[in-house]
């Protein structure tokens, strides 16, 4: 019970800080909008191709703006010396991991709640459905778990933020692929069994990365 | 002193063994194994292609084991083994991909196609390349070892995925050991002589791996010593 309270406290602290500064989430949302515009202009998407590429565009947009959140939520602690205080907290180190992951996840879900309606608006269709929300939650969960682990590692490197995408993207490509395929089946139609296959794959990826992260996180922030 | 001459003698033996096995395998590929009926000479790439891929994945497996060993014990020897595994693995996976590409040009009529097997192999290469970049970014040896170990564990998820990709997904990449997808192009049945050649190639590449790994670990030990001396000099001057 205490463990969950620590997680929620870290999460709530981040949300309070964000409410006062409004720097991370606003950057994520604006960047997401920019990426969508870039896609539309770069490929001069016709209504037909726009429907076919919607899943890919949405996920790539989410991933790109996700890295902003991943980089910031932990590096603010390092820059302002908050990390020492967090490490001194009388709780298991993984509570810090889950607290930060929860913050990142909520940021990313908020970004998704912004991206999907905006994309629907631009293309005069309604993409939103509760199944899609489920797929987005599953996909972003795995992305955030892996991302929080690797960002806690990359921010201790000489090059800081620069290396996170290089480390993170290849690892999550299979997860992203499953998410994109599941999303495109939802948007364009497709067989239920195929959808289930991708969902199972997505779910197992989430579990694998969650297990690895919990096991190795305290080795990263040891000192 | 005597102990180190003994190990270097052992290493020379392994070197010679690896070299002669590779030559034997090469000889068998060209003179012992029959020419495959449909694909002709280009099928002979298969023996070294699969053997190199196996060696590459073995390297990554070693890196995984070394990563787990390091995180459990904190012994820096594991780090030396880990980076040796990744470096050798990366070389062999690249070789395997290049050989596969040369084979695919006449058989699939293309150097590259976005098939699940090829894509997953490429992702795997990217991950282990990122591993080397990561090592490059940390100066303090202890931290570098821990970070690399973590990334070797996270990255290893891509290896079984690559191995299983031709057995799980619809693909045009042939499966020689096991049953192929009906869509696969370039499938063939191995004759007895082919199986012999294939086995010898596998053994030859595995022994080559052992020899290279040994050399790389020796080099790693020396590098670690050098790094340590450098640090001592640095603090000595203060």
Is B185 or B199 the better-scoring residue by pLDDT?
B199
Cα within 13 Å of Cα(A83), Cβ side = 17
Cα within 13 Å of Cα(A52), Cβ side = 6
pLDDT higher than threshold 70 for residue B190: yes
DSSP-assigned letter for residue B31: I
Instruction: Let me know if residue B159 belongs to a domain.
Output: yes
Residues linked to residue B69 through DSSP beta bridges, in sequence order: none
Give strand ranges (E) for chain A. none
Task: Give the pLDDT of residue B2.
Answer: 54
Distance CA B65, CA A166 (A): 23
Q: Cβ–Cβ of B154/A220 closer than 8 Å?
A: no
DSSP-assigned letter for residue A1: -
Instruction: Let me know if residue B3 belongs to a domain.
Output: no
| Consecutive H or E run containing A201 | helix A192-220
Binding-site residues on chain A for chain B (CB distance < 8 A): 146, 149-150, 153, 156-159, 163, 166-167, 170-171, 173-174, 205, 208-209, 212, 216, 219-220, 222-223
Q: Cβ–Cβ of B150/A173 closer than 8 Å?
A: no
SS3 of B36, please? strand
Instruction: Let me know if residue B4 belongs to a domain.
Output: no
- Categorize the per-residue pLDDT at B55 as very low, low, confident or very high, splitting at 50, 70 and 90: very high
Lowest mean pLDDT among A44-48, A211-215, B132-136: A44-48
Q: Cβ–Cβ of A163/B137 closer than 8 Å?
A: yes
Q: How many C-beta atoms lie closer than 10 Å to residue A200's C-beta?
A: 11
Say which residue the tokens 């069994």 belong to: A193
Residues 6+ apart with CB under 8 A from B206: B54, B55, B58
Q: What's the average model confidence in pLDDT over B120-135?
A: 94
Q: What's the average model confidence in pLDDT over A151-162?
A: 84
Is B43 or A86 the better-scoring residue by pLDDT?
B43
Mean pLDDT in chain B?
89
State the nearest Cα–Cα gap between B47 and chain A, in angstroms.
29
Q: Read off the tokens for B164.
A: 């299983």
Instruction: Let me know if residue B6 belongs to a domain.
Output: no
On whether the CB atoms of residues A148 and A221 are closer than 8 A, the answer is no
Task: Give the pLDDT of residue B113.
Answer: 87
Q: Where are the alpha helices (DSSP H) in chain B?
A: 2-27, 45-73, 77-107, 116-136, 141-155, 158-168, 192-237
ipTM of the complex: 0.89
Instruction: Let me know if residue B28 belongs to a domain.
Output: yes
Q: Cβ–Cβ of A158/B157 closer than 8 Å?
A: no
Please state, for a pLDDT cut of 70, what percent of chain B lies above it: 95
Residues 6+ apart with CB under 8 A from A141: A105, A206
B40 phi and psi, to 5 degrees? 75, -150
Q: Cβ–Cβ of B138/A157 closer than 8 Å?
A: yes
Task: Give the pLDDT of residue B3.
Answer: 64
Instruction: Let me know if residue B2 belongs to a domain.
Output: no
pLDDT higher than threshold 80 for residue B181: no
Q: Does B120 touch chain A (CB under 8 A)?
A: yes
Instruction: Let me know if residue B35 belongs to a domain.
Output: yes
| Consecutive H or E run containing A127 | none
> A47-51, A148-152, B3-7: which has the highest mean pLDDT?
A148-152
Q: Read off the tokens for B96.
A: 């395997």
Q: What is the pLDDT of residues B192-233, one digit of tens each?
A: 888 999 999 999 999 999 999 999 999 999 999 988 888 887
Task: Give the pLDDT of residue B236.
Answer: 62
Q: Cβ–Cβ of A153/B161 closer than 8 Å?
A: no
When CB atoms are compared, the residue of B123, B139, B147 closest to A153 is B147
Task: Give the pLDDT of residue A50.
Answer: 74
Task: Give the pLDDT of residue A35.
Answer: 93
Domain count of chain B?
Answer: 1
> A149-158, B39-48, B77-86, B109-118: which has the highest mean pLDDT?
B77-86
Q: Which residues in chain B have Cβ-Cβ distances shorter than 8 Å to A208?
A: 157
pLDDT higher than threshold 60 for residue B237: no
pLDDT higher than threshold 50 for residue B238: no
Distance CA B157, CA B94 (A): 18
Task: Give the pLDDT of residue B128.
Answer: 96
- CA-based Rg of chain A, rounded to a whole angstrom? 18
Buried b / exposed e along A38-56 (16+ C-beta atoms within 10 A) = ebeeeeebeeeebbebbbe
Q: What is the pLDDT of residues A69-121, one digit of tens each?
A: 999 888 888 888 788 788 777 778 888 899 999 999 999 999 999 999 998 88
Task: Give the pLDDT of residue B1.
Answer: 46
Say which residue the tokens 């002669």 belong to: B20
Q: What's the average model confidence in pLDDT over B30-42?
A: 86
Instruction: Let me know if residue B7 belongs to a domain.
Output: no
Task: Give the pLDDT of residue B22.
Answer: 95
Chain A residue whose CA is closest to B67: A216
Task: Give the pLDDT of residue A188.
Answer: 83
- Quote the domain boundaries for residue B203: 12-237
When CB atoms are compared, the residue of B123, B137, B155 closest to A157 is B137
When CB atoms are compared, the residue of A166, A167, A212 closest to B153 is A212
- B44: Cα separation from own chain's centroid: 20
């Amino acid at each position: 019970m205490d463990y969950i309270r620590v997680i929620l406290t870290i999460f709530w602290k981040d949300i309070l800080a964000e409410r006062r500064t409004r720097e991370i989430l606003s950057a994520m949302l604006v960047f997401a909008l920019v990426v969508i515009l870039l896609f539309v202009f770069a490929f001069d998407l016709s209504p037909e191709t726009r429907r076919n590429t919607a899943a890919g565009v949405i996920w790539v947009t989410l991933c790109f703006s996700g890295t902003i959140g991943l980089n910031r939520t932990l590096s603010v602690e390092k820059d302002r010396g908050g990390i020492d205080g967090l490490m001194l907290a009388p709780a298991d180190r993984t509570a810090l991991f889950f607290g930060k992951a929860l913050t990142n996840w909520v940021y990313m879900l908020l970004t998704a709640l912004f991206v999907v309606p905006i994309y629907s608006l631009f293309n005069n269709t309604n993409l939103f459905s509760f199944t899609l929300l489920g797929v987005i939650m599953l996909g972003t969960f795995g992305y955030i778990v892996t991302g929080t682990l690797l960002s806690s590692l990359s921010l201790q490197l000489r090059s800081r933020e620069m290396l996170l995408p290089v480390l993170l993207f290849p690892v999550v490509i299979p997860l992203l692929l499953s998410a994109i395929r599941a999303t495109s089946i939802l948007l364009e139609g497709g067989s239920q069994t195929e959808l289930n296959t991708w969902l199972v794959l997505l779910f197992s990826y989430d579990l694998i990365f969650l297990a690895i992260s919990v096991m190795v996180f305290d080795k990263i922030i040891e000192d | 002193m005597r102990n180190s001459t003994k190990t270097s003698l052992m290493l020379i033996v392994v070197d010679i063994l690896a070299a002669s096995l590779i030559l034997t395998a090469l000889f068998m590929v060209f003179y012992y194994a029959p020419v495959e009926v449909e694909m002709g000479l280009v099928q002979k790439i298969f023996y070294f292609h699969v053997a190199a891929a196996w060696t590459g994945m073995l390297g990554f497996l070693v890196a995984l084991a070394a990563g787990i060993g390091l995180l459990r014990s904190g012994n820096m020897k594991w780090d030396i083994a880990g980076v040796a595994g990744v470096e050798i693995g990366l070389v062999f996976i690249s070789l395997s991909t290049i050989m596969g590409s040369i084979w695919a040009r006449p058989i699939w009529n293309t150097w590259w196609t976005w098939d699940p097997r090829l894509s997953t192999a490429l992702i795997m290469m990217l991950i282990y390349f990122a591993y080397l970049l990561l090592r490059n970014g940390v100066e303090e040896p202890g931290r570098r070892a821990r970070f690399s170990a973590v990334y070797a564990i996270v990255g290893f998820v891509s290896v079984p995925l690559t191995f299983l990709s031709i057995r799980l997904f619809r693909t045009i990449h042939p499966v020689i050991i096991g049953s192929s997808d009906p869509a696969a192009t370039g499938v063939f049945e191995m004759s007895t002589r082919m199986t012999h050649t294939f086995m010898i190639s596998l053994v030859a590449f595995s022994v080559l791996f052992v020899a290279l790994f040994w050399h790389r670990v020796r080099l790693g030990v020396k590098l670690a010593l050098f790094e340590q001396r450098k640090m001592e000099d640095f603090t000595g001057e203060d």
